[in-house]
């Protein structure tokens, strides 16, 4: 079943076009509007212009490491509560821990399953409205 659009937006930061499109379709099925950034460079400016409700952030980007970008995002007070889901092909426990300690709200490994993304988003949004 397709969710009705909720007015929520998600910023997808992913340099691989096919993966970005797949994630965008999953996000749309969760009721979000999807925005794209194919590199780290425009992300902070995009966030300052229109803060999304959620970010899906790939770790391997052409111009900057996603964890470094996440730290930059978290260094700005206005983005403290912004849910950020790190997405990576690296499933090593030490890398997952590194991502979470860097400020990620969640860490998913590629390939991302729809149900896993949907559950993660629901959990993060529930946590956000409860606080």
> Model confidence at 7, in pLDDT bands (50, 70, 90)?
confident
Q: Confidence class of residue 128 from pLDDT cuts 50, 70 and 90?
A: confident
Specify whether the CB–CB gap between 24 and 34 falls below 8 A.
Answer: yes
Asked whether residue 15 is domain-assigned, the answer is yes
Residue 4's pLDDT is 47
pTM: 0.92
Residue at 110 is within a domain: yes
Q: Which two tokens stand for residue 72?
A: 């930059």
Where does the pLDDT of residue 95 fall: very low under 50, low under 70, confident under 90, or very high at 90 and above?
very high
Residue 70 has pLDDT above 70, yes or no: yes
pLDDT value of residue 10: 97
Question: pLDDT digits over 115-125, tens only?
Answer: 999 999 999 98
Higher pLDDT, 70 or 130: 70
d(CA 59, CA 65): 6
Q: What is the CATH number of the domain that holds 46?
A: 3.40.50.2300
Taking CA atoms, 28 is separated from 3, 11, 91, 119, 127, in Å, by 8, 12, 26, 14, 21
Q: Does a structural domain hold residue 95?
A: yes
pLDDT at residue number 127: 85
- In 10 A of CB 119, how many CB atoms? 12
When divided into structural domains, the chain yields a total of 1
Q: Categorize the per-residue pLDDT at 32 as very low, low, confident or very high, splitting at 50, 70 and 90.
A: very high
Beta partners for residue 36, in sequence order: 12
Task: Kindly state whether residue 78 falls inside one of the protein's structural domains.
Answer: yes
Which residue segment(s) compose the domain that 56 sits in? 8-130
Residue 27 within a domain: yes
Residue 126 lies in a domain: yes
- Domain membership of residue 22 (yes or no) is yes
């Amino acid at each position: 079943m397709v969710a009705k659009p909720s007015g929520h937006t998600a910023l997808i930061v992913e340099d691989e076009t096919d993966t970005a499109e797949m994630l965008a379709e999953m996000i749309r099925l969760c009721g979000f509007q999807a925005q794209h950034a194919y590199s780290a460079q425009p992300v902070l400016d995009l966030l300052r212009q229109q803060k999304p409700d959620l970010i899906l952030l790939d770790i391997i980007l052409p111009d900057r490491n996603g964890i470094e970008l996440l730290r930059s995002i978290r260094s700005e007070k206005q983005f403290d509560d912004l849910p950020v889901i790190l997405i990576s092909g690296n499933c090593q426990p030490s890398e997952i821990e590194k991502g979470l300690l860097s400020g990620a709200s969640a860490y998913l490994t590629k390939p991302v399953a729809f149900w896993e993304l949907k559950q993660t988003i629901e959990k993060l949004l529930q946590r956000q409205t409860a606080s």
